[in-house]
Chains A and B, each alone.
Chain A
Amino acid sequence: MAAIFLFPLVFPESYWITVFIYVGIYGLIVVGYDLLLGYCGQISLGHNALFAIGAYATAITTTWFGWSPIFGIIGGICITCLIAFVVGIPTLRLRGYYLAIATMGFAFIVEALIRTQYLGGSSGISGIPHLSILGYTFDSDRSYYYLVWSIVFLAAIVCLRIGETALGRSMKAVHTDEEAAGCMGINVAKTKIQVFVFSAALAAIAGSLYAHYGTVISPNSFNIMLSVKLLLMLFLGGAGSIFGGLIGALILFALPEFLEHMERLELVLEGLVFMLILIFLPKGLVGGLNRILNLK
Chain B
Amino acid sequence: MVNTHPQILKGQSISKNFGGLQALLNVNFEVADGMIFAIIGPNGAGKTTLFNLISGFDRDYSGEFIFEDLSLSQLPPHDINLRGIARTFQNVRLFPNLSALENVTVGCHGWAAPVYTRAIFGLKSTRREEHTIKAYALEMLDFVGLADKKDTEVESLSLGEQKLLEIARALAARPKLLLLDEPGAGLNDREMDNLEEIIFKNKKSGITQIIVEHNMKFVMSISDEIMVLNFGTKIAFGPPEIIANNESVIEVYLGKEEELVRTE
Bound CA span A165–B81, Å: 21
List residues of A (149-199) whose CB comes within 8 Å of B's CBs: 158, 161-162, 165-167, 169-170, 172-173, 175-177, 179-188, 194, 198
The reply to whether A179 and B77 contact each other, CB–CB distance below 8 Å, is: yes
A165 surroundings in chain B (CB, below 8 A): 114, 119, 126, 129-130
> Taking the nearest CB of chain A, how far is it from the CB of B89, in angstroms?
7
Given the contacts A161-B119, A166-B133, A194-B116, A186 and B95 also touching, CB distance less than 8 Å: no
B112 within 8 A of A: yes
List residues of B (71-100) whose CB comes within 8 Å of A's CBs: 76-78, 80-82, 86-87, 89, 93-98
Bound CA span A169–B114, Å: 10
> Taking the nearest CB of chain B, how far is it from the CB of A71, in angstroms?
22
- A188's partner among B78, B89, B93, B133 (CB-CB below 8 A) is B78
The reply to whether A185 and B173 contact each other, CB–CB distance below 8 Å, is: yes
In the complex, what residue of chain A is closest to B109 when comparing beta carbons?
Answer: A185
B216 within 8 A of A: no
A184 surroundings in chain B (CB, below 8 A): 78, 81, 86, 106-107, 109-110, 169, 173
* A side interface size, CB within 8 A: 26
B208 within 8 A of A: no
Chain A contact residues, majority secondary structure: helix
In the complex, what residue of chain A is closest to B88 when comparing beta carbons?
Answer: A183
A161 surroundings in chain B (CB, below 8 A): 119-120, 126
The reply to whether A167 and B173 contact each other, CB–CB distance below 8 Å, is: no
In the complex, what residue of chain A is closest to B77 when comparing beta carbons?
Answer: A182
B77 surroundings in chain A (CB, below 8 A): 179, 182-183
Of A169, A175, A177, A188, most buried by chain B (CB within 10 Å of CB) is A169
B105 within 8 A of A: yes
* B side interface size, CB within 8 A: 37
B102 within 8 A of A: yes
Given the contacts A169-B102, A185-B78, A176 and B116 also touching, CB distance less than 8 Å: no
List residues of B (119-156) whose CB comes within 8 Å of A's CBs: 119-120, 126, 129-130, 133
B87 surroundings in chain A (CB, below 8 A): 183
In the complex, what residue of chain B is closest to A162 when comparing beta carbons?
Answer: B119
B56 surroundings in chain A (CB, below 8 A): 182-183
The reply to whether B76 and A182 contact each other, CB–CB distance below 8 Å, is: yes
> Taking the nearest CB of chain A, how far is it from the CB of B224, in angstroms?
25
The reply to whether B97 and A172 contact each other, CB–CB distance below 8 Å, is: yes
B61 within 8 A of A: no
B55 within 8 A of A: yes
The reply to whether A177 and B106 contact each other, CB–CB distance below 8 Å, is: no
B80 surroundings in chain A (CB, below 8 A): 183
Bound CA span A120–B129, Å: 49
Bound CA span A158–B82, Å: 28
B253 within 8 A of A: no
List residues of A (250-276) whose CB comes within 8 Å of B's CBs: none
A181 surroundings in chain B (CB, below 8 A): 95, 106
Bound CA span A173–B105, Å: 11
B218 within 8 A of A: no
- A167's partner among B86, B89, B102, B114 (CB-CB below 8 A) is B114
> Taking the nearest CB of chain B, how far is it from the CB of A103, in angstroms?
22
Bound CA span A243–B177, Å: 42
A158 surroundings in chain B (CB, below 8 A): 120
> Taking the nearest CB of chain A, how far is it from the CB of B183, in angstroms?
15
Of A179, A180, A187, most buried by chain B (CB within 10 Å of CB) is A180
B109 surroundings in chain A (CB, below 8 A): 166, 170, 184-186
B110 surroundings in chain A (CB, below 8 A): 184-185
Of B93, B95, B105, most buried by chain A (CB within 10 Å of CB) is B95
- A162's partner among B76, B98, B116, B130 (CB-CB below 8 A) is B116
B116 surroundings in chain A (CB, below 8 A): 162, 167, 194, 198
Bound CA span A222–B113, Å: 37
The 24 listed contacts between A and B (C-beta, < 8 Å) are A162-B119, A162-B120, A166-B119, A166-B129, A167-B114, A167-B119, A169-B105, A170-B106, A170-B109, A172-B102, A176-B97, A177-B93, A179-B57, A182-B57, A182-B76, A182-B78, A183-B55, A183-B56, A183-B78, A184-B109, A185-B81, A185-B109, A185-B110, A198-B116
Instruction: Please list the residues of chain B having a beta carbon within 8 angstroms of any beta carbon in chain A.
Output: 55-57, 76-78, 80-82, 86-87, 89, 93-98, 102, 105-110, 112-114, 116, 119-120, 126, 129-130, 133, 169, 173
Instruction: Please list the residues of chain A having a beta carbon within 8 angstroms of any beta carbon in chain B.
Output: 158, 161-162, 165-167, 169-170, 172-173, 175-177, 179-188, 194, 198, 240
- Further 20 A-B residue pairs, CB within 8 A, beyond A166-B130, A172-B97: A158-B120, A162-B119, A166-B113, A166-B114, A167-B114, A167-B119, A172-B102, A176-B95, A179-B57, A180-B94, A182-B56, A182-B77, A182-B81, A183-B80, A183-B81, A183-B86, A184-B169, A185-B107, A186-B106, A187-B76
Q: Which 8 A-B pairs have the closest CB atoms?
A: A185-B110, A182-B77, A166-B114, A185-B81, A180-B93, A185-B109, A167-B114, A187-B78
